[in-house]
A and B are shown apart, each in its own frame.
Chain A
Amino acid sequence: EAQVTQNPRYLITVTGKKLTVTCSQNMNHEYMSWYRQDPGLGLRQIYYSMNVEVTDKGDVPEGYKVSRKEKRNFPLILESPSPNQTSLYFCASSLEPRSSGELFFGEGSRLTVL
């Protein structure tokens, strides 16, 4: 089954404790992206990657890191989480790197930073 898988789905952590949210897709998509969803703000892009070893900042990259060492994986790293990073996070992938095309979203990861 074609899918985008995120882990963990739910996480409560404390300020400053490094964490990684993993994202994996089995569709051989070149394009992958991370979004955060907050009430009244829609989906805001954090980082995106057009191919292996190619990543770029989205609209809200501060406080986040990503890496794309393999085509299928695109982890999101919070080196020192803060309460303002409490949010619902979505990973997404797309077949068409230059024009985005249809985004296939993961189920989301709800992160709470205390």
Chain B
Amino acid sequence: GENVEQHPSTLSVQEGDSAVIKCTYSDSASNYFPWYKQELGKRPQLIIDIRSNVGEKKDQRIAVTLNKTAKHFSLHITETQPEDSAVYFCAAGDYKLSFGAGTTVTVRA
């Protein structure tokens, strides 16, 4: 099955700086790569996703890049704000999604 590794497990950034989270996956058949944000005590919510026929996607301060050859994808958050503090999960697959272990992001004011 699919194996998704996510790094780093924790990330502390100064407000206004950028944050980058990286994930690798093992199954070359995976074609869907979403990112979920989970605030403390809340449910995960989709923030951005990318499919295998696209190399990069951007939505305001958030961007995701995908390298299918190397089997890795990354989340980039620019101009971080305190409300970006949360746990972020990457995932890979299709109708059967495998999630990474999560990255706890703390934005310092």
- Residue A26 interfacial (CB < 8 Å): no
Across the A-B interface, the 7 shortest Cβ-Cβ residue pairs: A105-B43, A43-B99, A42-B101, A42-B99, A102-B46, A42-B102, A99-B94
* Contacting pair B89 A42 (CB below 8 A): yes
Q: Which residues of chain B are within 8 angstroms of A106 by Cβ–Cβ distance?
A: 43
From 53 to 75 in chain A, residues with beta carbon under 8 angstroms from any chain B beta carbon are 56, 58-59
Which A residues have a C-beta under 8 Å from some C-beta of B? 31, 33, 35, 40-45, 48, 50, 56, 58-59, 90, 97-103, 105-108
- Residue B97 interfacial (CB < 8 Å): yes
Q: Jot down 18 A-B pairs with beta carbons below 8 A, ordered by A.
A: A41-B101, A42-B6, A42-B99, A44-B99, A50-B95, A59-B98, A97-B95, A98-B95, A99-B31, A100-B32, A100-B34, A100-B94, A100-B96, A103-B44, A103-B46, A105-B45, A106-B43, A107-B43
* Contacting pair B95 A99 (CB below 8 A): yes
Q: Besides the contacts A42-B100, A59-B98, what 13 more A-B pairs have beta carbons closer than 8 Å?
A: A31-B95, A40-B9, A41-B101, A43-B99, A45-B99, A58-B96, A59-B1, A98-B94, A99-B51, A99-B94, A100-B97, A101-B32, A106-B43
Which B residues have a C-beta under 8 Å from some C-beta of A? 1, 6, 9, 31-32, 34, 36, 43-46, 49, 51, 89, 91, 93-102
Minimum CB distance partner of A44 in chain B: B99
Minimum CB distance partner of A103 in chain B: B46
* Contacting pair B101 A45 (CB below 8 A): no
* Contacting pair B101 A40 (CB below 8 A): yes
Q: Which residues of chain A are within 8 angstroms of B95 by Cβ–Cβ distance?
A: 31, 48, 50, 97-100
Minimum CB distance partner of B1 in chain A: A59
Give Cα A56 to B45, complex, Å.
24
Minimum CB distance partner of B102 in chain A: A42
In the assembled complex, how far is the CB of residue A30 from the closest CB belonging to chain B, in whole angstroms?
A: 10
Q: Which residues of chain B are within 8 angstroms of A43 by Cβ–Cβ distance?
A: 44, 89, 91, 99
